[in-house]
Copies of this chain bind each other. A is one copy, B any other.
Amino acid sequence: MSNQKDKLVKSITSRDDDFAQWYTDVCRKAELMDYTDAKGFIIYRPYGYAIWENIQSYLDKEFKRTGHENVYMPLVIPESLFLKEAEHVAGFAPETAIVTIGGKEILQERLIIRPTSEVLFCDHYSKIVSSYRDLPKKYNQWCSVVRWEKTTRPFLRGSEFLWQEGHTIHATEKEAKEEVLGMLDIYNHCGKDLLAIPFVMGQKTDKEKFAGAEETYSIEALMHDGKALQSGTTHYFGTGFAKHFNINFQDKDGVLKPVYQTSWGLSTRLIGAIIMVHGDDSGLVLPPRVAPIQVAIIPIQSQKEGVIEASEAVKVQLETLNYRVKLDISDKSPGWKFSEYEMKGVPIRIEIGPRDLETGECVIVKRVNGEKIKAKIADLSTLVPRVFDEIHEEMYQKALENVTVNTREAKTYEEFKEIINSKPGYVKMMWCGHSECEVKIKEDTTATSRCIPFVQEHITENCPVCGRKAEKMVYFAKAY
């Protein structure tokens, strides 16, 4: 039994030996994904896809609750349409995949596979909006997009990934800006309530913002290795796209005006965040609310009378509460099963053996810290929900502590470089507002500005890089 377990556990690299290899090992061994012969295009296997479905389900409810409607736009963008907004094109053209042949014939106009769908939404909005009565339009779509990437990593950077992209238009700047911050807030809550991930929220610097946006906001998460991961972004476009695409409306005062526009997106990258924030040397650790399997029931000495029956009864009991439960009655050893569900990050396993039956008890084992709880089977319906809330909170606090401990401040540029090169995590530093200082920082250290956090502090008067008067405090970090 312990040999089997050793074998499975040893089959993944230790986090501290080689974090990148550990990550890939978890992706494969937990059966989240598989590679294909088309570079950068991965298969989302059932266990990985189910995590995405749970994220979708949470967000889709939130989007609909806040008045958004789902649509589906075409997979392809005619090249002439794609080329309409120069700044946007400059950002995406280098990484497009292009269809040049259809139905055995060379196409008269090449078709770009959507890297993002701003221009499709703009074109559609320009056709269906004419009056203030038509506003706002708050659309979202769930789809995949394609961006040709040289270096790819499962979930983090791929030639194709799954995401949602919201695209909204509004009659006023105020309403559009509220949308941009409102959706960021929903993303942030998704981290706190569903994924047990604390995000830092803030605005991107001009250098890091989305191609074509006036303002970009992001949620940033800190991975176990101390690198940051941009986990979702929202964009305020002002009237830039509207003017290029003629999205105008007649306002109440009779005047024709361009609309104010936003977009916001969140992708399967979040699966990467979950892995790297919570995982450990035994594999994945999933927060209970997003876990495809929330409870694994493992019968011990299942050949003994009553063990299987009792296990099945527990399954029914928990499924009645709408939990996702897996009862494993396969002929593998209990130890093997323990390792398997540990690798898959199942939040709790329940062990039921013949001796437990005598006392009407079972053992709950928490994946996050291995803690064992002896429990009356009759109490599970009240106990399990409590244990799940407890696990969620523990995971969130652990992740938050990683952020807190690994957020440092720098008063001088020397100090900044010393910290960023020797310690994991964020460095808070004042910044003058000029891109050239960000460029220098990146050249010197590979670190980038993550965001200008909403919660500001005043560390120094001047920008430590150039000495000019500081405008804002910025979070810097090495990032994925």
Contacts and interface: CB of A to CB of B under 8 A. Distances in A.
Interface of A: 34, 36-38, 41-46, 49-50, 52-53, 69-78, 80-81, 93-104, 110-111, 113, 120, 123-124, 127-128, 133, 139, 143-144, 146, 148-150, 159-160, 162, 330
B70 A50 contact: yes
A46 B139 contact: yes
24 contacts: A36-B73, A36-B124, A37-B80, A38-B74, A38-B76, A42-B74, A43-B72, A46-B70, A49-B70, A50-B69, A52-B72, A53-B70, A75-B146, A95-B103, A96-B102, A97-B99, A97-B101, A98-B101, A99-B99, A99-B113, A100-B101, A102-B159, A103-B148, A143-B144
Contacts of A120: 36, 43
A76 B124 contact: no
A148 B73 contact: no
Contacts of A38: 74, 76-78, 111
Contacts of A81: 37
Contacts of A46: 69-71, 139
A311 to B, nearest CB: 19
A417 B93 CA distance: 57
Contact of A162 (B36, B53, B72, B162): B72
Contacts of A94: 103-104
A75 to B, nearest CB: 5
Nearest to A160: B75
A471 to B, nearest CB: 36
B101 A41 contact: no
Nearest to A73: B43
A73 to B, nearest CB: 6
Given A100-B98, A113-B99, A123 B75 contact: no
Contacts of A52: 72
Contact of A128 (B34, B133, B148): B34
Contacts of A44: 71-73
Nearest to A42: B74
A288 to B, nearest CB: 20
Given A50-B70, A69-B46, A71-B49, A99 B98 contact: yes
Nearest to A137: B46
Contacts of A72: 43-44, 49, 52, 144, 162
Contacts of A160: 74-76
A143 to B, nearest CB: 8
Nearest to A80: B37
Contacts of A123: 36-37
Nearest to A46: B69
A102 B111 contact: no
Nearest to A158: B74
Contact of A43 (B71, B133, B144): B71
Nearest to A35: B127
A127 B123 CA distance: 43
- Of A50, A98, A101, A103, chain B has the most CB atoms within 10 Å of the CB of A103
Contacts of A80: 37
A408 B307 CA distance: 61
Given A38-B77, A49-B69, A49-B72, 20 more contacts: A34-B124, A34-B128, A36-B123, A37-B80, A43-B71, A43-B124, A44-B72, A44-B73, A46-B139, A49-B70, A49-B71, A72-B162, A74-B160, A76-B97, A76-B160, A97-B99, A98-B100, A99-B100, A103-B149, A133-B330
A136 to B, nearest CB: 13
A330 B43 CA distance: 47
A36 B117 CA distance: 13
A86 B149 CA distance: 32
A30 to B, nearest CB: 14
Contacts of A98: 99-102
A151 B187 CA distance: 42
Closest 5 CB pairs of A and B: A103-B148, A41-B74, A46-B69, A44-B72, A98-B101
Contacts of A69: 46, 49-50
Nearest to A45: B71
A93 B97 CA distance: 20
A52 B142 CA distance: 13
- Of A42, A44, A81, A110, chain B has the most CB atoms within 10 Å of the CB of A44
Contacts of A74: 36, 38, 41-43, 160
